Chain A
Amino acid sequence: MDLSLTDEQKVRKQEFYDVCKELEKRKPPSFTGFETIYEDDESWKYNLYCAKEFAKRGWLALGWPPEYEGKGDMMDRVLFAEARGYYGIPGVDIFGVQMLAPTLLQAASEEIKRAFLPPIAHGEVMWCELWSEPNAGSDLASLSTTAIKKGDEYIINGQKTWNTGAHRADWGFGVFKTDPAAKKHHNMTFILHDMKTPGITVRPIPYLDGHAPYCEVYFDDVHVPAKNIVGQEHEGWAVVNLLAGFERSGISEIMSMIRGLEQLVTFCNETKRHGQPLAKNPLVRNRLAELACDLEAARALAYRVADLQNRNEMSLMDASAGKIFFSELGERFAFVATDILGPYGQVKTSRWAPLGGVWEKMFHEHFITTVSMGTNEIQRNIIAWYGLGLPRIR
């Protein structure tokens, strides 16, 4: 076992931290977390700016093969994610850079790779994911939106929902039923399409805090070139599973919480309650220390996932465990932090809100990680069925 970094890795890590620290200075006040890029125009502009800054350094293609403008390795990607997480910097498109690109590299035709990878690496095209439907959530394979082939086009009809950032995205990747007569899991195709194609209507859905990070998307006779597919026709389910395996190790989110904890410690040291620093309250100390322990455990597991990914030994159950753990830690953290802030824990970003109102924001935002990317209950099924080999009732 060796957790040390090489000298070269230390240098690159420093560079990632330095650049992110600089970018932090340009944060608009309305940017209070990763999801706000979809909710707020200023934050979205900031996201695009950061993407360009990263792209010009080649950092959106970390770990890609050199023939597609790739640079560095998987470990660089982890270190970069750490730095972005710590300073809370957007600019790495979750859907384009983190999910679609590795999927394309593994499953797409050469033509598709050549067409779609460079704009992702250059930070030019932002993506969204079109999977869930009103009646196909956790049971995604029961989806009903169709893409029927006609000549050299697919014609898409139906509705997708819970599409994060669909109102901002340039392109979308989705799964659609292409062979309605075929068996479940062998009847759908993974299709890429321009979000500006006629017939697409995007409607933002108000989230529980009133903002709109995600949307519902309607398809009404939407014509898409038939060549824009990933994997085999009708075998999109395999691509869906492949993409789901490229889930984040959670290292960005964990580093972001580590920074949040540091800021809370400062707040507790500087804020007096009952005539002494809040930090002297044994209950506060115990609760913050418990979070710190959980965070260190989360970080250790994220490194485990990263280490497996680096060696192409991705374990589905470790990735699921990582996702459950960091997302539920986010919940606990939001509850504890807003508790410690007392009545100020309910104040939205404003002159009254301590720490920029990030914890009030987190009180709402944590559901995005527990519910999306496969609910945590689905992740527990994955661990139980595929990891522990427990029988599945069908």
Chain B
Amino acid sequence: MDLRFTETQEILKKMARDFLTTECPKTLVRKLEQSEKGYSPELWKKMAELGWMGLIIPEEYGGMGYTFQDLVVLLEEIGRNILQGPLIATITSIFPILKAGTEEQKKELLPKIAQGELILTTALLEGDGVFDASGIAVKATPKGNDFIINGTKLFVEMAHVANHILCVTRTKDGTSPEKGITLFIVDSKTPGISCEVMPTTAADKLCEVRFKNVNVPKKNILGKIDEGWPIVEMMLRKGAIAKCAESIGAIETCVEMTVAYSKERVQYERSIGSFQALQHKMADMWMAMETSRYLVYEVAWMESEGLPCAKEASMAKAYVNEVYKNISKWAVRLHGAIATSADHDIPLYYRRSKAADIAFGNTDFHREIVAQKMGLV
């Protein structure tokens, strides 16, 4: 047992921190939130040069061939700076392709993703807003060599700038909701697709994507027809861990900023950080950060080693969801009025905590998975 980062991970961490400190100031984060695209194509190109989009893509497909654990180290740094953009959407869409893609699909997509030429996203949620298979109603019906997709997806991250959308569809009404689910790789320029950005708490460009008689060739099926749900589960699991990693970085920043501010801010002729009412709250924030961090590292290690970790991944997501919301809330509270201003950086984190909570399943969703996995009938 050794909980330290490897040398490669230390280098990756330092490189990412240096890069983001210079290239991604909060002024840019704010600008991107307001912008139509929601990301910076110039920055995206530079990130591709650093190999970030291709980090977990094997070398034979033009990637870096790093492990899932390494990815977690990178995402933690991304989370520190709350970099806005389609990185998580793209990376989480890589997992299904790696797992279930044909050789042709991999060769066509992965090198371009690694080069930063393609942005991907996954369309899962619909009107019900649930993360289980019962929410999938968008239909794909066979017609010759094609499938025709009809219906509306919601909360699709960065769909407005994505080149390809992995669309989770219902191809058959089976005996259980999990049966009859099929994934398609859909070119976002296909006629019949329309997209609208939804106004959200974190201004993170979640979209409504409407499919109206959209023709998708059969060869664009990802994995086996009607048997796509296990791929979605895998993506949700890895995505949940990835989101946790990003949250850890954000949590860390909230704690650091709050501690630093409490040492500077003087009231009653002394720094407010000398008052125990605040000290104990900050000790609790730090403790919650540490427990989250090592829980996420443990799960990332399991995932990286290919060990079964559905229960542990859900434990981590359920746990970190609550920690992030609470720590960023307390960061606002301890800063006082100043952090309720839109110009302050802390609210950026507070707003993102809600988005992080929902992405890949909220707390109750994951607690129910834990309940099942721990053997409750």
Contacts and interface: CB of A to CB of B under 8 A. Distances in A.
Interface string B1-26: 11111100100000000000000000
B319 A384 contact: no
A296 B367 CA distance: 13
Given A265-B374, A288-B376, A300-B295, A381 B290 contact: no
Interface in B265-297: 270-271, 273-276, 279-280, 282-284, 286-287, 290-292, 294-295, 297
Nearest to B319: A293
B262 interface: yes
Contacts of A4: 1, 305
A131 B300 CA distance: 43
A15 B4 CA distance: 28
B377 A383 contact: no
B279 A390 contact: yes
Q: Is the interface of B mostly helix, strand, loop or mixed?
A: helix
Interface in B346-377: 364, 367-368, 370-371, 374-377
Nearest to B9: A1
B315 interface: yes
Nearest to A9: B1
A262 B271 CA distance: 47
Interface in A266-284: 266, 268-269, 277, 279-280, 284
Contact of B259 (A289, A293, A303, A390): A390
Contact of A3 (B1, B5, B274, B287): B1
A393 B292 CA distance: 30
A296 B311 CA distance: 10
Interface string A1-20: 11111000000000000000
Given A1-B6, A289-B367, A380-B283, A393 B270 contact: yes
B368 A289 contact: yes
Interface residues of A, number: 53
B207 to A, nearest CB: 31
Contact of A390 (B69, B282, B300, B371): B282
B298 interface: yes
Interface in A295-354: 296-298, 300-301, 303-304, 306-307, 310, 317-318, 321, 324-325
Contact of B274 (A290, A297, A392): A392
A286 interface: yes
A318 B286 CA distance: 10
B303 to A, nearest CB: 12
B291 A321 contact: yes
B263 A391 contact: yes
A285 interface: yes
Nearest to A324: B287
Contacts of B377: 269, 277, 279-280
A88 B125 CA distance: 45
Interface string B61-90: 000000001000000000000000000000
A387 B274 CA distance: 14
Q: Which of A318, A324, A380, A390 has the most CB of B within 10 A?
A: A390
Contact of A1 (B5, B259, B319, B368): B5
Contacts of B263: 389-391
A387 B273 CA distance: 13
B94 interface: no
B286 A381 contact: no
Contacts of A385: 279
Nearest to A294: B319
A321 B287 CA distance: 6
A155 interface: no
A208 interface: no
A261 interface: yes
Residue with the highest number of chain A CB atoms closer than 10 Å, among B1, B2, B298:
B1
B114 interface: no
A303 B279 contact: no
Interface in B289-342: 290-292, 294-295, 297-298, 300-302, 305, 312, 315-316, 318-319
A285 B316 CA distance: 17
Interface string B147-185: 000000000000000000000000000000000000000
Contacts of A1: 2-6, 9, 69, 297, 300-301
Interface of B: 1-6, 9, 69, 259, 262-263, 270-271, 273-276, 279-280, 282-284, 286-287, 290-292, 294-295, 297-298, 300-302, 305, 312, 315-316, 318-319, 364, 367-368, 370-371, 374-377
The 7 A-B residue pairs with the shortest CB-CB distance in the complex, in nearest-first order: A384-B279, A289-B367, A300-B294, A383-B283, A285-B371, A380-B283, A289-B370
Given A1-B2, A290-B367, A325-B291, 12 more contacts: A2-B301, A4-B1, A288-B376, A289-B318, A318-B290, A381-B276, A381-B280, A381-B283, A384-B276, A384-B280, A387-B286, A393-B275
Interface of A: 1-5, 75, 261-262, 265-266, 268-269, 277, 279-280, 284-286, 288-290, 292-294, 296-298, 300-301, 303-304, 306-307, 310, 317-318, 321, 324-325, 377, 379-381, 383-385, 387-393
28 contacts: A2-B2, A285-B371, A286-B367, A288-B374, A288-B376, A289-B367, A293-B316, A293-B318, A296-B312, A296-B315, A296-B316, A298-B291, A303-B294, A303-B298, A304-B3, A304-B290, A306-B1, A325-B287, A325-B291, A385-B279, A387-B283, A388-B283, A388-B286, A389-B263, A390-B263, A390-B282, A391-B273, A392-B274
